[in-house]
């Protein structure tokens, strides 16, 4: 049992470390994905703002992921941001990959068409990389959260077991003290009876002596 628990804890710690690395990678990719959209047109169009929003949600999800790992809180918030980011990334990738010309026209970049196409493809590649990494992060986050839940349940079970042991010890001590008290009471009662008998016997002897 102890070896299996240690193996599970090692696996959870490795998963946690891997999750930290992936969150850091998503953070870097999200931060770098702002550059192509900004370079295409500044201020960006509404479609460019949508791209920036998707990158911003990914960046925020990486921050919340780090916070969730450190504090074991905000798990649902992290998962919600991951799902929202994944949905936005999938829709953006489909728009950029399947309708490249329409996307470029929506971006209205004043740059050379070749440069704009390169920037759009860079943005699409960054979003695809983020999407794959965030899928892995989503699965690993659920696995790590289940490990946290198991650890918490084991800790609560250990606390309950120690509380039961403590209550048993207290009950045993109380029983022993009650038994000792009854024994002492019996001994004192016997001593009192013996004293009374000895005194009563002396009185009887003195009364019957001539």
The range of the structural domain enclosing residue 137 comes to 2-162
Predicted confidence at residue 56, as pLDDT, reads 92
Q: What percent of the chain has pLDDT over 90?
A: 18
Predicted confidence at residue 86, as pLDDT, reads 92
Predicted confidence at residue 60, as pLDDT, reads 92
Predicted confidence at residue 180, as pLDDT, reads 77
Q: Does pLDDT of 87 surpass 90?
A: yes
Residue 113 lies in a domain: yes
Residue 196 lies in a domain: no
Residue 11 lies in a domain: yes
Mean of pLDDT values over 185-207: 65
132-182 pLDDT, tens digit per residue, is 999 999 998 888 888 777 777 777 778 888 888 888 888 778 877 787 777
Q: How many domains does the chain have?
A: 1
Predicted confidence at residue 2, as pLDDT, reads 45
SS (H, E, C) the chain: CHHHHHHHHHHHHHHHHHHHHHHHHHHHHHHHCHHHHHHHCCCCCHHHHHHHHHHHHHHHHHHHHHHHHHHCCCHHHHHHHHHHHHHHHHHHHHHHHHCHHHHHHHHCCCCCHHHHHHHHHHHHHHHHHHHHHHHHHHHHHHHHHHHHHHHHHHHHHHHHHHHHHHHHHHHHHHHHHHHHHHHHHHHHHHHHHHHHHHHHHHHHHHHHCC
Residue 83 lies in a domain: yes
Residue 30 lies in a domain: yes
Residue 181 lies in a domain: no
Mean of pLDDT values over 175-192: 77
Per the prediction, the chain carries an average pLDDT of: 81
Q: What percent of the chain has pLDDT over 70?
A: 87
Residue 72 lies in a domain: yes
- pTM for the model: 0.67
More confidently predicted of 195 and 8 = 195
Predicted confidence at residue 90, as pLDDT, reads 92
Q: Does pLDDT of 1 surpass 70?
A: no
Predicted confidence at residue 204, as pLDDT, reads 46
Q: 199: pLDDT confidence band, cut at 50, 70 and 90?
A: low
Predicted confidence at residue 47, as pLDDT, reads 87
Residue 106 lies in a domain: yes
């Amino acid at each position: 049992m102890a070896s299996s628990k240690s193996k599970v804890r090692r696996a959870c710690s490795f998963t946690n470390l891997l999750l930290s690395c992936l969150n850091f990678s998503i953070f870097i990719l999200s931060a770098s994905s702002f550059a192509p959209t900004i370079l295409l047109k500044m201020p960006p169009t509404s479609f460019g703002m949508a791209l920036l929003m998707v990158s911003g949600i990914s960046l925020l999800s990486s921050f919340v992921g780090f916070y969730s790992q450190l504090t074991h809180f905000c798990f649902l918030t992290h998962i919600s941001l991951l799902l929202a980011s994944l949905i936005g990334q999938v829709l953006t990738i489909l728009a950029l990959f399947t309708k490249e010309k329409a996307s470029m026209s929506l971006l209205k970049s004043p740059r050379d068409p070749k440069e704009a196409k390169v920037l759009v493809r860079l943005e699409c590649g960054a979003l695809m990389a983020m999407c794959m990494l965030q899928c892995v992060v989503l699965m690993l986050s659920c696995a790590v959260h289940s490990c946290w839940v198991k650890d918490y349940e084991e800790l609560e079970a250990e606390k309950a077991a120690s509380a039961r042991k403590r209550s048993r010890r207290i009950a045993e001590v109380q029983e022993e003290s009650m038994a000792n008290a009854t024994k002492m009471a019996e001994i004192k009662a016997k001593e009192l009876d013996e004293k009374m008998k000895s005194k009563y016997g002396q009185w009887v002897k003195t009364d019957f002596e001539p």
